[in-house]
Every structure is written in structure tokens, then in C-alpha cells.
Amino acid sequence: MLAVAAIVVAVAGIVRGFSGFGSAMIMAPALSLLFGPSAAIATMTLMEVPTLVQLLPDAWRHGDRRSVVTLGLAAMTMVPVGAWLLVHLDELVMRRAIGLLVLGFAAVLGLGWRYRGTLPLPVTLGVGASSGLLSGAMGTPGPPIIFFYLSGPANPTVARGSMIGFFAFTTTTALITYGSYGLYTKDVLWRAAGLLPAFASGIWLGRRLFGKVSEVAFRRATLALLALIGTATVFS
């Protein structure tokens, strides 16, 4: 199982390094099938820490810091609520919910809807809070925040940097919250350490590909992969 997980994690790293998002939506459903939702999401969170250190300096220079801080603070209030749901809800329910979330997000992104201008502050706070809830419950803060940046007027470099900066808020809060629930078992710690090299290597490759591979082709391939993994998770 660890070998299969390493392949999944490496692919997720490539997507993350290239686009700044998407790794959690690939890893969460696939690793949940292999190890169960709680163990999978705790493993993912531990792997995020060194990778954020790797990506954050460059992302912070290019991102929209004002929106990142506003969204990040809103998200931090809801991560503990999501973590409570993760710990207390049935594993099968959580696994299928993760799969449905991934499928829905792939469908929305595939439609290519965009908004123009600046969203009102209450809407922005709602986006951050909903991302925090999903981060705690499913390890996938991405859907609302990715939709916020990719559907708006920001160029790809600013959007990519802003999303990585936002994930620093959710990952830090989730790391502390999951620790308080005792999710970092010995198995989780060893699994995260074993999978981290594959994830870091994938991120390195994804960063090298950024700007060299067609963004449209890469996005289509990523959406197809998300749809495949989401379907497998829902009907497993």
C-alpha cells in the first residue's frame, strides 16, 4: 500500500508545484481509501509543513497579501469545527463526502465560470471560513479558495502565490488541532516520513514545469484525474 500511496503523493506533488493547489484533493480521497480518512488527513497535514517552507517564500512575494490574511484569519476560526467532524463522523460517510467534494469541484472548475471586480467583505470572509471548515474536516481547504482566486481577475502567478500563502494559515491551525485529538500516531508519523520524499520530489518537478507546459493542457489533465479519483472514492 505504501508504494501505491507514494505514486499518488508524487503525482499530487507535481500538481501542487505547478499550480499551487490540487494536491490535497488528489491525496485525500486516494489515501482515505488506503488508510482511512483520519489517518490519511493527519498524514497529509504533516507532509504539508516542509513543503510549505519550500514554497512559501516565493509565494509570499507574488501573492495578494491583503486577501491572504483576511481569508486566512477567517479560515482559522473554522478549522477546529471541521476537525471535530472528522473525528466524530463515520469513516465511510467522510470518505464518500470527500469524493463528492472532489467531483463537484472538478465539475465547477471545468465549467470555467469567472467573476469580475472585488467581492464584498462578508463574501470573502465566508469563502475563508468555508475553506477552514473543509480543511479541518477533509484536509481539503482548496475548493472555495481555489475558486475564489482562479475565477477572479488575478493572474496565474498572483493566484498561485496567494493560494500557497493561504494554505499556510489552514495547515498551521490543522496541525495544532489534529495534535490535540491525538491523530499523530506512530503509524501516521512513520507514513508521513516515508511519503515525504515522493511529495517533495513531485513539487520540485512541478515547479520546474511551471511556465514550460501549457497551462490549459495541465489543467485539463488535472481535472480528469480529480474526476477519476473522486468517482473511485464515492463508489468504493
Alpha carbon distance, N-terminus to C-terminus of the chain: 16
Task: Sketch the domain layout of the chain as residue ranges.
Answer: 2-234
Q: Mind spelling out the 3-state secondary structure of 129-140?
A: HHHHHHHHHHCC
Query: What local confidence, expressed as pLDDT, does residue 114 receive?
Result: 64
Query: What local confidence, expressed as pLDDT, does residue 112 receive?
Result: 66
Distances, alpha carbon 40 to alpha carbons 81, 146, 187, 216, 227, in Å = 18, 22, 11, 30, 19
Q: How many CA atoms lie within 13 A of 88 on its CB side?
A: 6
Query: What local confidence, expressed as pLDDT, does residue 191 receive?
Result: 95
224: how many CB neighbours lie within 10 A of its CB?
12
Q: Tell me if 37 sits within 8 A of 94, measured CB to CB.
A: yes
Along the 236 residues of the chain, how does pLDDT read in single tens digits?
788 999 999 998 888 787 767 788 788 888 988 898 899 999 999 998 887 777 788 778 888 888 899 999 999 999 999 999 999 988 778 777 877 877 777 777 677 666 666 778 888 898 899 889 888 988 877 678 877 877 777 777 788 788 888 988 999 999 999 999 999 999 999 999 999 999 989 988 888 887 676 766 666 766 776 777 667 667 76
Which residues neighbour 182 within 8 Å (Cβ) at sequence distance 6 or greater? none
pTM score > 0.85 for this model?
Answer: no
- Give the separation between CA 12 and CA 23, rounded to whole angstroms: 4
Q: Tell me if 179 sits within 8 A of 136, measured CB to CB.
A: no
Extract the C-alpha cell encoding 116: 469580475
Query: What local confidence, expressed as pLDDT, does residue 113 receive?
Result: 65
